[in-house]
A and B are shown apart, each in its own frame.
Chain A
Amino acid sequence: MKILVAVKRVVDYAVKIRVKPDKTGVDTQNVKMSMNPFCEIALEEALRIKEAGFAKEVVAVSIGPSQCVDTLRTGLAMGADRAIHVEASSSFLPLSIAKILKSLADVENPGLIFLGKQAIDDDCNQTGQMVAALLGWPQATFASKVVLDKDKKFATVDREVDGGLETLSIDLPAVITTDLRLNQPRYATLPNIMKAKSKPIKKMTLEDLKVDIKSDIEIVEVTEPPKRKSGVIVSSVDELIDKLKNEAHVV
């Protein structure tokens, strides 16, 4: 079985972002970029499934500008066997990404597609569900545990839902999106980083995949959220209770 993992290059999670003064977006020039944390978890899970003998090959895919190759190299250094870079100059809506992934899945025939549950830049939480819909495959979103059956016919997945955990059993091929607690992604070691340099990254274009890119959502403007007015530091519990009672009227 082959596992396809979609990884996205995003502004590093620790960076404090700045909205551009012209309100067209968020400044991504000269900002540290990394692999989306949920994508790291997705890749780690795919690698563990391979190491457990359930998969032969893990293929990392990224869609975007040429710098996505760095993200893919990181994935290869973690242990992915090969990578596919779909080159695109602009960024796409999740629906278009899902269509690209669908057409890659048609070519690659994976038994599983792993994605993160959401990208920490657009916070959409859509792509995995949409790929599953387009392929007509079952989905398990927000996975915190994935167990494959030994014949690789189905997967039992624990999902993080409001109010607890839900367990599903889904037939393969399927799409799984990962939540934070699925695993602890490994660090790429120096020898693996060196090895990753010789692993293949296949370049593809949108023309190769014959995907019709749709943009039915227009970004009108991006603004800073309203700032909270600065608060006060109180010196004792009594003062705190007094403020909550008499100033804020919340207790």
Chain B
Amino acid sequence: MTRALLLRALTKKKKLVPPNAHRSISIITNLSRCISTLILAEHESGSIKPQTVSTVVAANQLGESSSVSLLLAGSGSSLQEAASQAASCHPSVSEVLVADSDRFEYPLAEPWAKLVDFVRQQRGDYSHILASSSSFGKNILPRVAALLDVSPVTDVVKILGPNEFIRPIYAGNALCRVRYTGPGPCVLTIRTTSFPVTPVTESKKATISQIDLSNFKEEFVSRSRYVGQSTQDTERPDLGSARVVVTGGRALKSVENFKLIENLAEKLGGAVGATRAAVDAGYVPNDLQVGQTGKIVAPELYMAFGVSGAIQHLAGIKDSKVIVAVNKDADAPIFQVADYGLVGDLFEVIPELLEKLPEKK
């Protein structure tokens, strides 16, 4: 049994060695390219965000023997609370690094990008630096990459090897396979819906270390200031990770009518999404926009009401397991991607669905 496992491990290792490895140069690069990943973690009110755990899942696919360090920055007790949760969020996390300072109270790109570079210099060379492709990761990571003089890869949906990735381009209408060939660390943002978190039974606690910031010089502190935030309070599940998403388009016609979508989402225990048209018309706030420039979702069930199906919108829903479309226009492009289509008036269909759908347990 153990012999078989060992053998399998050996053959796997062999596969990782490229065919030209007999040349001494490539052996050296291979040795120095031991995979160690630094993940810029996102946390909120004392807990680590699910997107960060997905990013850890992605980091695991970079290679066989990889070490994963989570970097948490912030200040005060909620940071320490998040750190202790982060230490046991996934068995493959080997280390949690904590940067506790008022300078990181808010996620401003300038000090945070500097911090990633600072940690990299202090803690040894990471081969990979990752964050999720959330507005947080997209804001900070390209800035980090420019400080390191490397090209980052945005929105990785598949990892083929330590330096080879697939990412969507042209609103997801083409997939681009890229290879990172630079000498510096490989900087990636991860499309988290492509790396689902499977529940793990094994529990492990990683070591938590505080980062010594006494040598951290930050010249931008006063040049960029956090003023405030207006968050949409909602009890519904987060759009990015919901199991069911119910979306409304322009055809809803008003804020009041959009309540229909909200009611249906509630009944299904799902999140509410919207098209750009619905957001622009002011029916819902813009953080509910689904598509190329909004959120990318991949729920088990995606229901679109009065959504025509512009390519920019489809870019955000293509990976949903089951797509349902209800539209008056039988020629709407949304029907080309829908698993189940119903041609009809949403103002009749939604109330009927509300009445006939089984009660959520």
Chain A interface residues toward B at CB < 8 A: 11, 13, 16-17, 19, 26, 93-95, 98, 117-118, 120-134, 136-142, 144, 156, 159-171, 179-181, 214-225, 228, 230-238, 240-241, 243-245, 248, 250-251
How many cross-chain pairs have Cβ atoms below 8 Å apart between A and B? Answer: 250
A163 in contact with B287 given A129-B142, A130-B143, A217-B179 (CB within 8 Å) = yes
A245 CA to B356 CA, complexed, in Å? 12
Tell which of B113, B134, B168, B169 has the most Cβ of chain A within 10 Å. Answer: B169
- A151 to chain B: closest CB distance in Å? 15
The residues of A that contact B260 with a CB separation of less than 8 Å are: none
Q: Interface size (B, Cβ < 8 Å)?
A: 93
- Taking CB atoms, residues of chain B closer than 8 Å to A166 are 226, 228-229
The smallest C-beta distance from B296 to any residue of chain A, in angstroms, reads 11
Q: Which residues of B contact A228 (CB under 8 A)?
A: 318, 323, 337, 339
Are the C-beta atoms of B300 and A250 separated by less than 8 Å? yes
**B154, closest chain A residue (CB):** A124
> Is the Cβ of B232 less than 8 Å from the Cβ of A163?
yes
Give the distance in Å from the alpha carbon of A122 to the alpha carbon of B182 in the complex.
19
Majority-rule SS of A interface residues: mixed
Q: A122-B169, A169-B227, A231-B323 are in contact. Are A94 and B174 (CB under 8 A)?
A: no
Contacts of B295 in A (CB 8 A): 162
**Neighbouring B residues of A225 by C-beta, 8 Å:** 168, 172-175, 318
Known: A13-B312, A216-B150. A164 touches B232 (CB 8 A): yes
Q: Distance (Å) between the CB of B287 and the closest chain A CB?
A: 5
B357 contacts the other chain (CB 8 A) = yes
Q: Mark B165-200, 1 if CB is under 8 A from A, else 0.
A: 001111111111111111110000000000000000
Are B154 and A123 in contact, CB atoms less than 8 angstroms apart?
yes
Name the distance in Å between B294's Cβ and chain A's nearest Cβ: 9
Nearest CB on B from A117, distance (A)? 8
Does B286 lie within 8 Å of A163, measured CB to CB?
no
Tell which of B151, B227, B330 touches A94, judged by Cβ atoms closer than 8 Å.
B151
Q: Chain B 211-252 against A: per-residue CB contact (8 Å), 1 yes, 0 no?
A: 000000001101111111111100000001000100000000
Most buried by A among B150, B183, B223, B240: B223
Distance from B120 Cβ to chain A, minimum over Cβ atoms (Å): 14
CA of A243 to CA of B358 in the docked complex: distance in angstroms? 13
- Chain A to chain B contacts (Cβ below 8 Å), 7 pairs: A129-B143, A134-B146, A166-B228, A168-B225, A169-B225, A216-B182, A217-B182
Q: Which of B108, B155, B339 contacts A168 (CB 8 A)?
A: B108
Q: Which of B143, B146, B227 has the most CB of A within 10 A?
A: B146
Given contacts A165-B229, A231-B323, contact A237 B356 (CB under 8 A): yes
